[in-house]
């Protein structure tokens, strides 16, 4: 009889331990979420493009110009400026825009591309630098992290590399 009571207590303890172990993550998820939220972590600008410095209204679509992104010591990217055209669904079939990237009132680059006619076609285009601060790109697509022209679901993202000394 004594062995049965000890076995019942042991199995009950094991079952309760498993139940607690299964419930703890759900009960503590709020604590973990708050700890991560208050840790000050954020996605690096090399991935997000940085912060938007200004928006240019073109009627049916907008152009967002981001602040320049410079690599940190451990990153192997070129410095670049990101530009977004949105919404992608409102862009004309052929885009040809001169854009002021540094806010001095003078266009710095001319971006031209044709919107793909099918979902299988890749987006390719040209970026022509209008001054020495930026690099020109011929027939660019998603070739490089710092030199790209890609379409997302809602926008067209262009990254224009800065030339050496372009700060």
Indicate if the pLDDT at residue 125 is higher than 70: yes
Number of residues in the chain: 167
Question: What is d(CA 132, CA 109) in angstroms, rounded to the nearest whole number?
Answer: 10
Average pLDDT taken over every residue of the chain: 89
Percent of the chain with pLDDT over 70: 98
How much is the average pLDDT of 28-44? 83
| Residues 57-113: tens digit of each pLDDT | 999 999 999 999 998 888 888 999 999 999 999 999 999 999 999 889 999 999 999
Residues 134/109, Cβ–Cβ less than 8 Å = yes
Task: Give the pLDDT confidence score for residue 165 in this predicted structure.
Answer: 60
Question: Quick one: what percent of the chain has pLDDT higher than 90?
Answer: 53
**Both structure tokens of 84:** 């977004």
DSSP string, 29-98: HHHHHHHHHTTT----HHHH---EEEEEE-SSSEEEEEPPB---TT-----EEEEEEE-GGGS-SEEEEE
| Least confident interval from 36-40, 85-89, 130-134 | 36-40
Contact of 158 with 127, CB cutoff 8 Å: yes
Q: How far apart are the C-alpha atoms of 87 and 92, rounded to whole Å?
A: 11
Residues 108 and 154: their CA atoms lie apart, in Å, by 25
Q: Say which residues have a Cβ less than 8 Å from residue 122's Cβ, sequence separation at least 6.
A: 116, 141, 142
């Amino acid at each position: 009889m004594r062995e049965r009571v000890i076995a019942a207590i042991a199995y009950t303890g094991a079952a309760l331990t498993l139940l607690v172990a299964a419930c703890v993550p759900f009960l503590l998820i709020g604590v973990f979420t708050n700890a991560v939220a208050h840790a000050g972590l954020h996605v690096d600008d090399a991935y997000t493009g940085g912060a938007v410095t200004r928006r240019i209204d073109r009627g049916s679509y907008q152009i967002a110009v981001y602040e320049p992104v410079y690599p940190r010591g451990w990153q192997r990217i070129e410095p670049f400026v990101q530009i977004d055209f949105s919404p992608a669904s409102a862009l004309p079939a052929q885009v040809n825009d001169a854009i002021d990237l540094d806010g001095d009132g003078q266009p710095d680059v001319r971006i031209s591309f044709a919107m793909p006619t099918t979902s299988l076609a890749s987006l390719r285009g040209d970026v022509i630098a209008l001054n020495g601060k930026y690099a020109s790109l011929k027939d660019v697509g998603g070739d490089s992290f710092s030199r790209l022209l890609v379409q997302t679901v809602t926008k067209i993202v262009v990254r224009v590399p800065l030339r050496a000394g372009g700060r």
